[in-house]
Structure 1
Amino acid sequence: MQQLRALLVGAGGMGRAWAKNLAASADARLAGWVDIRPDAAAQAASDLGLAGIYTGAELDRALAELRPDFVVDVTVPEAHHDVTLAALAAGVPVLGEKPMADTMDRARAMVAAAERAGLLYMVSQSRRYDARLAALRRLIAEQIGTPGMLTADFFIGAHFGGFRDAMPSPLLLDMAIHTFDAARYLSGADPLAVYCDEFNPPWSWYAGNACASAIFEMTGGMRYIYRGSWCADGHPTSWEAEWRAVGPRGSATWDGHGAPVAEVLAGDTGFLRPTEARTIAPDADAPSGIAGSLREFAHALRTGATPMGECHDNIKSLAMVFGAIESAKLGQRVAIRAL
């Protein structure tokens, strides 16, 4: 199988992580690397021992000279729109980092550009590629049935320093999309409306609101309830959050660390109905994180299959983020519109 040739855009920390994954991939190889900072891509390639690849600072020139099979966009969110449109206009599919864009209008323009070009644009929602999350999804579908309520708790005292400490809505803008997207993945439901309260406690080291609670109305009548804080020292949750799904045949939980478990009904009498435990072992061989999204993107390019994170689907998760932020600003329930 011939490897697909990738042009990587962005040579920051995540760019280097993507370069390592491309170098280790059987599906693709790193053919070129660009960054708007002069010599940044060349220095990153040298640091990682990646010889013989194209490096530069001009995306348009690299697209014309390399004619890659796809672009990996690992720039800052504000640049995703321009990078994606340039690649699609050049006839090159795009695998982009989350979030899709820094505004909903730009995200919609990116989806429209993919439609016009007839090319694949996928967002790497890399935390979906977790065998434990996939096992929880199966437990919900196979054991407890369609959930009426799904909850996620995320509490971590993250002392990053840098841009997150100064940005508005750091939890919702930078992190919550992972948890919101996982809720859609687990339930198969899409967002209709949200009521969100966002705030910052007195001890917070963030300038923007680092705490939020939100109730999402989802298709099928389900409610998805999110509680989170990025300034919660002590008793941290997993970065994958702590989950509970409640369905007609029982409940399933996952602490974000080990294997998920379910308790399903085993009888129909008694004040508390009897239950029995069920579990599904995660697939130890499933590729995780960036490696998982890269493999699925390559498979989609070769077969025409629709991958997770395809832009028409992923924009629904982004809409949950901006819907929550709008609700918090207005202090009221708001409807969610993706496209």
Structure 2
Amino acid sequence: MSFRTIPSSPADPLRVVIVGAGGMGRAWLATVTESPEVMLAGIADLDVPLARSAADSAGLPDLPVGADAVALAQQTGAQALINVTVPEAHHPVTTAALFAGLPVLGEKPAAENVSRALSLAAAAEVTGELFMVSQSRRWNPQLAALREMIARLGPIGTVSTTFFRSEHFGGFRELMAYPLLIDMAIHAFDSARFLLQAEPVTAYCQSYNPPWSWYAGDANATVVFEMAGGTRYIYNGSWCSPGATTSWNGSWRVSGEKGTALWDGDHEPVLDGEVDAAEATGTPYSGIAGALQVFVRALRTGEPPSGEVHENVMSLAMVEAAVTSAASGRLEHLDDVLEQAHAQALREETRADVRDALAGWPSVREALTGTVPAETR
């Protein structure tokens, strides 16, 4: 998708408003204030005293704050928003920004469900503004090195991630029906798409809650995805597994025709097989700072970034397919999940121009990825 560009440089940095002054908002605040490529114009939060507290804690007592992100951007001359609100607010905040002529860099997930994310993709088309989702693992240099490594393994049979942690969060996560799948697994699912450069076709999930779990919903899950080309991606994880915990990135194994690549999630990946190891070129980007760099670069050049909303929605669709499978006990087809979400988006869309854009898609998969669903080929 093409989008409007905004010239900027270290001498004329992109002016941004951060929306959301909670814990993650403050992480973004530190990232923005340290970047020479952007200038913080303000902080918006429905809790204005919280926004003021965040500004004060960053040593910016005179920074403008307010409850309405778009109004604050207009008052301060900001050129873009960084949306760090709760998932349920992603759709209204991002939609308002796009239609106000403000590109958006948003925290994952794109929206609270796939239907809302499709609405945002269509809104980006209608407005011609960039909406990029920050999937911070995409900018992990070790993950980039792993992708370079597996390109030398020939055809890939299986990719697996194990994720075992013992986290006492308190609050909403411990009350969710599928806390692991909904709150965390998208990082691994998106990383698998990034590694394989392939999209999901089907999902089969079993989720459950061990008897000692302190979560109300299913804290454990195992998911098998068939990816385009036939590779299987297997995710096996738990939020309540004391002892021998894995990295927050999980532990990865990639099995190919010529060998196997391993990554423990915290150190450089290693290669074992009949293939010469080569030094990885890596990536100049890392974490949310990398996502910010890529966002600014995209606005300068017009080059679609990794994480552009159309490209990103399939990662959220993997989550929705896994949850649907866990509830149904059946293998779920991603195209069915996408089409059902599309129908819901059409029913719920309140803007006629966005609804028309959604209705004009030949298929959801083709609109998102440029590929035609298998059953229509």
Q: Is the 8 A contact 1:260 1:280 kept in 2?
A: no
The AA in structure 2 aligned to 1:109 is S
Q: Quick check: 1:305 aligned with 2:303?
A: yes
Q: Is the 8 A contact 1:114 1:121 kept in 2?
A: yes
Q: CA deviation at 1:63?
A: 3.2
User: Which whole-Å deviations, capped at 9, do the CAs of 1:250-289 have from their partners, x for residues lacking one?
Assistant: 1111111211111222xxxxxxxxxx67364575x83311
TM-score, normalised to structure 1, is 0.93
Q: Quick check: 1:139 aligned with 2:139?
A: no
Q: Provide the C-alpha distance between the structure 2 equivalents of 1:318 and 1:50, rounded to a whole number of angstroms.
A: 36
- Corresponding residue of 1:331: 329
Moved more, 181-190 or 45-54: 45-54
- Corresponding residue of 2:133: 123
**The residue matched to 1:278 in structure 2 has which SS?**
coil
Q: Is the 8 A contact 2:41 2:73 kept in 1?
A: no
Determine which of 57, 63, 66 is the counterpart of 1:53.
Answer: 63
Moved more, 88-97 or 243-252: 243-252
User: Which whole-Å deviations, capped at 9, do the CAs of 1:212-257 have from their partners, x for residues lacking one?
Assistant: 0010011011110110001001011111111111112111111112
Q: Provide the C-alpha distance between the structure 2 equivalents of 1:171 and 1:237, rounded to a whole number of angstroms.
A: 14
**The residue matched to 2:17 in structure 1 has which SS?**
strand
Q: Is the 8 A contact 1:262 1:279 kept in 2?
A: no
- Corresponding residue of 1:292: 290
The AA in structure 2 aligned to 1:16 is R
- Corresponding residue of 2:277: 278
TM-score, normalised to structure 2, is 0.84
- Corresponding residue of 1:164: 173
- Corresponding residue of 1:196: 205
Alignment of 1:120-269 (within 5 A): 120-141=130-151, 143-265=152-274
- Corresponding residue of 2:35: 25
The AA in structure 2 aligned to 1:129 is W
Q: Quick check: 1:39 aligned with 2:49?
A: yes
- Corresponding residue of 1:273: none
Q: Is the 8 A contact 1:167 1:208 kept in 2?
A: yes
User: Which whole-Å deviations, capped at 9, do the CAs of 1:265-319 have from their partners, x for residues lacking one?
Assistant: 2xxxxxxxxxx67364575x83311101000000000001111111011100000
Q: Quick check: 1:87 aligned with 2:97?
A: yes
Q: 5+ residue gaps in structure 2?
A: 1-8, 339-363, 365-377
- Corresponding residue of 2:5: none
The AA in structure 1 aligned to 2:300 is R
**The residue matched to 1:148 in structure 2 has which SS?**
strand
The AA in structure 2 aligned to 1:326 is T
**The residue matched to 2:102 in structure 1 has which SS?**
coil
**The residue matched to 2:18 in structure 1 has which SS?**
strand
Q: CA deviation at 1:32?
A: 1.1
Q: Is the 8 A contact 1:172 1:321 kept in 2?
A: yes
- Corresponding residue of 2:349: none
Q: Provide the C-alpha distance between the structure 1 equivalents of 2:28 and 2:149, rounded to a whole number of angstroms.
A: 31
Q: CA deviation at 1:64?
A: 2.7
Q: Provide the C-alpha distance between the structure 1 equivalents of 2:48 and 2:248, rounded to a whole number of angstroms.
A: 35
Q: Provide the C-alpha distance between the structure 2 equivalents of 1:4 and 1:257, rounded to a whole number of angstroms.
A: 32
Q: Provide the C-alpha distance between the structure 1 equivalents of 2:94 and 2:268, rounded to a whole number of angstroms.
A: 37
Q: Is the 8 A contact 1:191 1:219 kept in 2?
A: yes
Determine which of 38, 47, 62 is the counterpart of 2:72.
Answer: 62
User: Which whole-Å deviations, capped at 9, do the CAs of 1:107-166 have from their partners, x for residues lacking one?
Assistant: 11011000101111000001111111111000001x212312111110111111222111
**The residue matched to 1:19 in structure 2 has which SS?**
helix
User: Which whole-Å deviations, capped at 9, do the CAs of 1:62-82 have from their partners, x for residues lacking one?
Assistant: 133234211000000000000
User: Which whole-Å deviations, capped at 9, do the CAs of 1:170-205 have from their partners, x for residues lacking one?
Assistant: 100110000000000111110111000011010001
Q: Provide the C-alpha distance between the structure 1 equivalents of 2:88 and 2:287, rounded to a whole number of angstroms.
A: 23
Q: CA deviation at 1:43?
A: 1.4
Q: 5+ residue gaps in structure 1?
A: 266-275
Give the CA RMSD over aligned residues. Answer: 1.4
Q: Provide the C-alpha distance between the structure 2 equivalents of 1:76 and 1:151, rounded to a whole number of angstroms.
A: 29
**The residue matched to 1:221 in structure 2 has which SS?**
coil
Q: Provide the C-alpha distance between the structure 2 equivalents of 1:330 and 1:138, rounded to a whole number of angstroms.
A: 37
Q: Provide the C-alpha distance between the structure 1 equivalents of 2:55 and 2:244, rounded to a whole number of angstroms.
A: 39
Change (3 A) 1:318 1:250: same
| % identity of equivalent residues | 50
Q: Provide the C-alpha distance between the structure 2 equivalents of 1:49 and 1:202, rounded to a whole number of angstroms.
A: 47
Q: CA deviation at 1:100?
A: 0.9
